[in-house]
Structure 1
Amino acid sequence: MSPSKTTTKSLPTTPLRPATGRRRMSLGRYTVYAVLLLLAMFAVGPMLLFAFNALKSRSALAESPLGVPTSPRWHNFLDAWQQAGMGVGLRNSLIIVTATALGVCVIACTAAYAMSRLRVAGSTFFIYYLLVTTALPIQLFLVPLFYMWTKAGLYDSLLGLIIIYWAVFSPFATLLVRSFMVALPKEYEEAARLDGAGEWRVFSRVVLPMVWPGLLTAALVSGLQAYNEFLLAVTFIQSTEKMPVSTAFFAFKSGYTQDYTLISAGGLIMVIPVLIAFILLQRRFIEGYTSSGMTG
């Protein structure tokens, strides 16, 4: 008997193709990472250079404006704090920001509730009016407002500046909160009215808890704007003990002796509270903006 011959059939083989799709995906991902890295350097670079200059001496700053401080001078922050009056400025800014945020929230939520839920004659006209007022530059009203505030005794007072901020920042906040209220279902309010709740109870117990993200966003926006605002503050506040931190820093920067190390330290002191507030509240800030949609 002859041994049986086993025949093996060769399976058809397909040539391996290069994973061009993966390469394109990885290349696109690396490109996105590179762009994000450049944007991060563009955003953080000036702040880092600002901090380096604040820790140098005047001679070290003149020798190496872009270098890292070899012997940090931490007392520059104390000198800037004392010479620029940053403590008084931060206290005044805290009063202005808190009062502005609270007042804008009260005005915005009541006006938004009236335009979105109550039958107010001419509510559409008021919406267009708010849109127009947000687009107008404040420089148009400086001269008549200065005359009115001088006659009313509100010039060079924190209350007068806060009232101006209420008027300037409330239109946008009203439109923002109204966009939240328009998106709310009316069944909750109708159920509360069937249970015997009045209009104020419906507003305070039903509507306000549901539009809390919008109110928080309006408070953050108006508070940051009040903290960073300069033109109205330098126009309507002249006394040194009433200056917010922005005008106090400007007065220190415009002094006769230009010590750029102390100017950098004072500017960093002014920026740090805003950075801390944004880092702590950035999630709610972004969620409030994206969930509003400014619809209706």
Structure 2
Amino acid sequence: MQTGASPLSRTLANLFLWGAVLVALLPLGLVALNAFKPHTAIVANPLSLPESLSLDNFARAWNGGKFSIGIVNSLLLSGTTTLITLAFASLAAFALARRKIPGWQLITIYFLCATTVPIQLFLFPLYFVYAKLGIVGNFAATALILAAINLPITIFLLRAYVISIPQDVDDAAFMDGANPLQTFLHVILPLMRPGLITVAIIVFLNSWNEFLITSTFQKGRSNITMTLGYLSMNGTYATDQGALMAGAFILVAPIVVFFLLLQRFFISGMTSGAVKG
């Protein structure tokens, strides 16, 4: 009796995966290629190799996009959003997985519905409230909105990790005299580390790439993020494709490096949740 996939199916699967990789990397490769070329060379032939590895485009993009300010603000906003999301999502996941909450099915449906509602519906009332409170441009206030957007999916992911942890672990902690909060902090939370890392990566990347919320609530030159800084280049450098390509490379490079450094944790966390959850 044969087991496993046939050589043909494995070959087709590998070809499909390599094709997907090429499709994903091709735009990044073109950006990196044209970031070192002047505007005239890009317009003449965007697929040609650069004649030299000049960093002039990067210097203009860094200054024009105000990336020295934007990278600090993006790290602050993304980091704050990630911390808020992890704090609330881990507590909610623990409660939904371990406590018999009346009507928990309705709560689950509510979270599912929340993932489908467009945030554009809430922009005007949110901005009105934020303007009244005088917190437009406040990173913590903006991070609360981004955290609320990411909470439904992160709660579902972390709930799967809590369910995968045997109930006997909780019972042993209770037998030793631990209360629910102590059980969560000292027993369950350390065991959720793969899920927490996975969720942190997802939320951080979503917050870094977010544009609609930051462009609405992060007003002022001192509050500019990387995405907003790159947007500001479109008017000034509309006829300088080299600077725009360099700016796109500067915008994308940190998150690519961030994901490559943490991809091992991300993959192990996703597979662990898929198997155990």
Normalised to the residue count of structure 2, the TM-score between the two structures is 0.91
Q: How far apart are residue 282 of structure 1 and its match?
A: 1.2
Give 2:88's aligned residue. 107
CA contact 1:176–1:294 (8 Å) conserved in 2: no
Q: Which moved more, 1:90-99 or 1:148-157?
A: 148-157
Equivalent of residue 229 in structure 1, options 210, 221, 228: 210
1:93 is the counterpart of 2:74: yes
Which sections of structure 1, spanning at least 5 residues, go unmatched?
1-24
Q: Secondary structure at the match of 2:236?
A: coil
Structure 2: how far apart are the matches of 1:267 and 1:52? Answer: 12
Matches of 2:57 and 2:38, distance apart in 1: 9
Q: Which residue of 1 aligns with 2:38?
A: 57
**Shift of the alpha carbon at 1:72?**
2.4
| Pairing of 1:240-259 with structure 2 (within 5 A) | 240-255=221-236, 257-259=238-240
Instruction: Answer 1 or 2: which has greater helix percent.
Output: 2
- 1:39 deviation in Å? 2.9
Residue in structure 2 matched with residue 200 of structure 1 by the alignment: 181
Q: For the Cα contact (< 8 Å) 1:175–1:294, is it kept in 2? A: no
Q: Cα–Cα, structure 1 residues 57 and 229, in superposed 2: closer, same or farther, change >3 Å?
A: same
Distance 2:181 2:44 in 1: 66
Q: Could you tell me how far 1:27 is from its partner in structure 2?
A: 5.9
Gaps of 5+ in 2: 1-5
* 2:266 aligned partner, one-letter code: F
Give the aligned CA root-mean-square deviation in angstroms: 2.0
1:128 and 2:109 correspond: yes
d(CA) in 2 for partners of 1:80, 1:243:
15
**SS class of match (1:254):** helix
Counterpart residue type for residue 78 of structure 2: V
Aligned residues: 272
Q: Distance in 2 between matches of 1:201 and 1:130?
A: 27
Whichever residue aligns with residue 264 of structure 1, its letter is M
Partner of 2:152: 171
Mapped contact 1:133–1:171 kept (Cα < 8 A)? yes
Q: Structure 1: how far apart are the matches of 2:24 and 2:13?
A: 16
Q: Provide the rounded CA distance (Å) in 2 between the counterparts of 1:48 and 1:138.
A: 32
1:185 corresponds to 2:166: yes
Alignment counterpart, residue 65 of structure 2, candidates 60, 77, 84: 84
Contact 2:39-2:239 at 8 Å conserved across structures: no
Whether the 8 Å CA contact 1:240–1:248 is kept in 2: the answer is no
Q: CA deviation at 1:254?
A: 3.1
Matches within 5 A, 1:251-290: 251-255=232-236, 257-290=238-271
Q: Partner amino acid for 1:206?
A: V
Whole-angstrom distance in 2 between the partners of 1:39 and 1:253: 30
Shift of the alpha carbon at 1:132? 0.9
Query: Aligned pair in 2 of structure 1 residues 123, 250: CA closer, same or farther (>3 Å)?
Result: same
| Match 1:145 to one of 105, 110, 126 | 126
Quote the offset at 1:221 in angstroms.
Answer: 0.9
For 2:143, the equivalent position in structure 1 comes to: 162
